[in-house]
Structure formats: structure tokens, C-alpha cells
Chain A
Amino acid sequence: MFKNKKLAASGVDTTEHAVAEPDRDQPWKELGLKEDEYLEIKNILGRRPTSSELAMYSVMWSEHCSYKSSKIYLRQFGEKVTDQMKEHLMVGMGENAGVVDIGEGLAVTFKVESHNHPSYIEPFQGAATGVGGIVRDILSMGARPIAVMDQLRFGAPENPDTSRVVHGVVDGISFYGNCLGLPNIGGETVFDSVYQGNPLVNALSIGAMKHEDLQLAKASNPGDLVILFGARTGADGIGGVSVLASETFESTGPTKRPAVQVGDPFAEKVLIECCLELFHAGVVAGIQDLGGAGISCATSELASNGGKGMKVQLQNVLLRDQSLTPEEILMSESQERMCAVVPKKQLKAFEKIVEKWEVEYSVLGEVIDEDRLYINWGHEEIVNVPPRTVAHDGPVYDRPVALPQYQKALNDDSSSSLKRAENATELAAQLMQLIATPNQADKSWITAQYDKYVMGNTALSMPDDSGMVRISEETGLGVALATDANGKYAYLNPYEGARLALAEAYRNVAVTGAVPRAVTNCLNFGSPENPEVMWQFKEATAGLADACLELGIPVTGGNVSFYNQSGDVAIYPTPVVGVLGVIDDVARRIPSGWQDDGNNIYLLGNTFDELDGSAWAKDLHDHLGGQPPKVDLAKEIELAELLHGASIQGLIESAHDISEGGLGIAVLEAALRFNVGARIWLGEMLERDAIDMTAALFSESQSRVIVTVGREDDVKFQALCEARGVPCLRIGVTDATSSMVEITDVADLKLDDIRSGWVSTLPELFG
């Protein structure tokens, strides 16, 4: 399988050979390294690397594993942090996933990751193994994984290749997530031609645990055993990490066909139960899951994190394919494998548990009191490196940054040039058209393929604004999670776009009654070798870090995915932001649509004429230009605190945040949620905010939410808004007897008519 015939023919390349044959030609370029990186390796080792060492460095120093182009910017997330923000943080960035204290001695760990490139090549397995990978990260923190979410971005809906990717990805997530028994509690699906050759598949997982269950990925006690367990090692994904994620696609299609990773969710389910039993039995001193870069990563990271070293017998690895060379074994990305550090005296107990679950394992070696990683193949030494240089001290780039040449023209091209609807008929037509576009349409065709019931703790899931799961059955303590991103906003203004994504996720958590507490992110960008993309990245990370500081919630971990481009065309910068919130009792949760008759509908927040980058502009007029909506984070905080306070007092029956599509879409969604009509009047709003009806319906101004309040709570609620200085305007009343949404001066829309367009879009495209 290994491409370079020279290496295969000469047999195992040992450290002895490396010294004896210093001038051998090595395929550092084919493995994705740059010349200066290769020279640096020689410098570190004082000789040329063996082919195994070369393989290790090439995968560990790849963009995907080393974050070499993003490190200098990601530091901000750890630096722009106050002590108050760190109050609930038990584990911050740098570990497999962040861990947040939620009270009652309980903690939650969560993270979002990308699996973009594999999902274009092999959508089913790419998406499936994406879920598998993030779940293992959560498991390795000592938590029981309790839910998943996914953020999907596909190309133009009518393009036949989009269907290929959509089917594969949704089937893959469904297959893997459902077999693991994890409820899928939300996410997002976006269609835009910019993602045609580069679909984005981001997967998030959350896990729950008691404080004392926390596990870390370090090997710190000399003498402890290093044990690889789970699935056998095969040829999956060889070269995937260094070759695939650090390369862009040719515009003719998916030409690269290295061995794709193949997932087995049954093996992972068994692994989850086995690991949890191992953790609770206290037999494990450190644990690392094997993801990108497989054994290379697990061994070097465990050693480096623990500040010690390791001695490994690579021939002890249980193989699925006996023909694998040592280099291939080191690079293999076979799924469903974990690496445990086990004190010798716990070995028997360890063996008993893995045998009970019929999980295979092999002792690879042990921790040593030396800052060195030795790997032997039988009697031959094939790796002898300082672990830190592999795992943590990889190259750090400060890549050139340049304002995109198109930026000024793009920002000058405001949507104000677009013709607006001139009468009620046109407005109504646009609203009906917009709700049926793929981006606004009902996503049930996708979400019905996911299990939302398993584990019995799902309090909210799609289509509500956040997913919410109960953590404690005794007290009802739970967490809410929302993930958001808007590539159009970020393309217009990456700094603001990142702030807006955070604001939206923050708001989506607040509308459920939960209090936002922590952040994760998945930064999807084009090639870092393109200075314009690098500028976008620099701006977006600064925007996100500054916004987190302002909102007072820290980034606990995340992921960067570069090279999302076909030829020269990069995707929109798409920073996906996830916000986790805590709710003391999930019974208090607020749904996104109204269920009751005769409740007043209130619009919180002010509306401005902000149609640049909106769904109205892009999906109805194919226009993208100008500046994204402004966001005032102080207002978002006030709004969130109001919602929380009102929720504690039980004043709010439903709350739905206004985002893509504007108020018009939000109202229709809230009505469709439980099929309850409403009468809406926007006259006062037009006057108070000095806007026209198009802006009223379609503007994407921030810090706005529609809530419904029972008649008996009206006075209290309005007083609360006034006291907190949150603009509050009654814009309607719910009507359960009506099968209509009547919007004065726009139209009387039948719910059935709205629904029929809304539910049929995706099945017609993909069913």
C-alpha cells in the first residue's frame, strides 16, 4: 500500500540505518512536508529521520494535526479570558475536549469537529467516521457521550452531485449516531453553491460526568503500561491526515482515492461501555483516543502531555491486515481504537473488563522516565524522538495576510440597490417563496432519520432553537446547546461574521431559558497559503475572541479545517460557533413555537434596515454584498438576562430567535411549530423603528426575539422588559381556532398553504 517503492524494497529503516546512510533520498514532499520542515526534523534528531519517524512527523506536523497556520491566532482564545470566565472551566483548550462544571458535582464536556474532505470523497463513511471521532474525544475525557449535533453545508440543491453528498452524509450520520444510541438534538443544514466542491460536515458531541470522573490524556508514571485496545489496525485512511486535509481538490472532482476510514459503530458502542467500566473501576491512569494520525498521535501526545517518555513494541499492535509496514501502522487511522495508560498492578483488572466486553487489546509498551519516545519493530529501533517535538512543538507559521482585492467592491455593493416589493401581494409572494427555499424549508426529511429519543433525556430537539438534554434525573439539571454560523456574513466581514455567529448561538441558548456558559468552535476556511483567506481567518478569530470576552463566556476547545477550496475558489469563511448553556430544571424549558390560544406575541428588540447578506437578498435576489447586520453584545446580554428572568418566573410560553430570513420567517416558523395561527400587525413597528415593510419582514437585525406570554402574565412581563430596558412591542396574538397567519397590510396566509411549500422542498429535491 505504501507508495514509495524505495522504502518498501529496502525493508525496515532503523535508526542505525539512518546514521549509516545519511544521504538517502526521502519522500518528505510526497508525505506533505515542506523542505524547511524536513531540515528542521534533521536538526532535531541530529541525523536524517528513519522512514517511520518521517511518517510520524509528516502526519503530526500536518495542518490538521499541528494547527501550524492557526496556532498564533488560536492563542487569543486562551489569552482574552478573565478569571470570571474561567470560573466554571475545569479543562480548557488543548485537551481532547473542554470540560465545564454545571453544578451539583456534575460536569459536561463538549466539542465540535470537522470531517469535511473525507465527506466529499466518500460521504457516507466520511460523515460516519466524523461522528465516531468526535464521540471518542468526548469519551476520552471520562464522560458518557449523551448527544450529538451536526452542522452541514452542501452545494446548490439542484446540482446532481449535491444529492450524492446529501444522501451519503445524512445516511452516514444516521447510521453511526443511531447505532451508538446517541440522540441527535439539533444542528443546521445550509445549501449554497460556494460549498459545491467542498461540503462542510461538522459534528458535535456532548458528554456528562461527575467531577471525579475526569480523565486526561497523559502518561506521567514511569512503569505504567501503554495498552492499545478496540478495533484492529488496518489500512484505513493511510496518509489521510497529512495528504488529504492539507490539500485542496482539483476542480474536475474527487480524484484523490487513498484508503478511506471505515467506521463500525457497533465496535464503538462496545468500546464506550467498556471504557466507562474501566474508568469507574479506576484502572486507567490516562486515556487517549486514536483519531487523525492514529498511533503516532496517541503515543507522542500521551508521552508529551505527561512530561515523560515511552518505549513501544510496534509489532505488538493487533493487525487486521498482516501486510502493513511499520510506517503504515504508525499512520493508520483505523477507527474505534483507544490507548490507555494502565498501572502494572491494575493490569489484571483491566484485562477482566475488556474481556467481558470482548474487546481486543495488546500491551504496546510502557512509560519511561526519559524525555524520549522509542519505538521498536522487533529488535530494531525504528523511532527515537523527543515526543514534544512530534506532538506539541511542531512548526508554527505566521502566514502572509492580505485584504482581499474584492473586499471593498463587495462591501460597497449594498442590497439597497435591489428593488423592493411595491405592494402587499408582492410582499406576501416573497414571504411564501422564501419559506419554501431549501435553506428555510422544513428539514424533517433529514432529522427524521436521526433518533432523538434514546436515553430518554431529550427535553428539546429540532426544530427548537437549541437542543436540550437533562443531566440529572433527580433535579432536572440540564444543558442547552446551539450551533450557528453564517458564511455570507463572514464573507462580507469576517470579524463581524464571527461575532454574529457567537451572538446567534448565545441567543438561541437564551431563548430556551438556559444561561450561556461556554463556547466551542469549528473554523472552516479555504487555503491558509492564500493571504486573503489568512486575512479572513485572522479577522474571524479576533472577532470571536473579542466577542467571547465581551459576553463573558470562554472558548473551551474547537477545531480548524483549512484547505476548503476547489482550485482557487475558497468557500465563504465559515466559523461555526457552539454555545453551551445550563438550566437548573429542564421542566422550565421554553419551546420555539406557540401552543396556546389568545397569547400576546411580543417582539423584543429594535429593527433596522439591514438586508445586506440576508436570505431575502441571497435566496430571492441572488445578491451578496454590503455589510452584515450590526450586533451590540451588551444588548444581547440584556436580552438573555431578561429571558432568563422571565423564564424563572414562568412568564414566557414560547420564544423564538429572529435570524436568517427575518421576522416574517420567524413568525411563520413559530406558527408552524404546533400548527397554531396568529394575527400579526406591524404598523407600530414600522413607525417606531422608521423602516418599511420589506425591512420589517426580512431584515436580519440582531438581538431580537419573538415571545408569547399568557394574558395573566402580560403586565408583569412588560414591566420586566421596561425595568431592564429591552424594547418590547406587542405585534400580535395567537389564535388556535384559526388556520391562518394574518399579517395586516401583507396577507392572510393559510397555514396549510405555508406548510405545503415548506414541507415538500427537501423531499422533492432528495427524496
Chain B
Amino acid sequence: MSPALEALVASYNHWITIFLMVAGLYTVIAKDNMIKKLVGLSLFQTSVYLLYLSPGKILGGTAPIIAPEFDVYSNPLPHVLILTAIVVGIATIALGLALVVRIHEAYGTIEEDQVFAAGDNE
């Protein structure tokens, strides 16, 4: 394989992680609709999971469940951290959605600029 192709395969995970992180960040900042912001936040969180899990993978290894016929295992420590992170992420999203529902009841809209304008007029 040519060196450029090898470099691409070696770090493809990182490129996609960066793209997903930037896409999630853009969705949170640029979009006004609050539900879309929360979806963007969820995209951002998932890209961070990918960032943590990629260095733990060992080519030729297997899942970290000890069995007699395997002797190379992937690193179990990032798995533990990301398991916690996924659950904390869903907790954040649930709270965010509850807040969006209350904002809609109070202001009648969930577009951020309209909520700010209504807040200024109060």
C-alpha cells in the first residue's frame, strides 16, 4: 500500500472522530431549535466515545472476556469509562428534554431567538 493510503487507514478513526465532533459542535451552536441542539449534543458525546475506544483496540485481539483459547485482548479500561459516559449522557439528554418541554409551555416556542426575544420583552 502506498504511504498515503497506509496513513489514511491508520488514522481514519481519528479523522471521522474529528468530523463528528465538529459536526456536533456546529449543530449545538448554529441551530436555533432546541431539540436539534440536543441531538447535536448527543452527536458530540458519541464522537467522544469513539475517541476513547479507538486507541484501546488491538488488531488481532478480541473482546476482553477471558477465555482459554484467546491470549490477546483489547484494552478493557476505556470500555468501563465509556459505559459510565453513555449512561451519564442519557441522563443529561433526559434532563435537557424535560427543560425543553417546560420552556415550550412557558414561551410557546422552542426556537432560541424567539425565546430570548420573549424574555427581553417580559
A and B associate in one complex: no
A: residues with CB less than 8 A from B are: none
B interface, CB within 8 angstroms of A: none
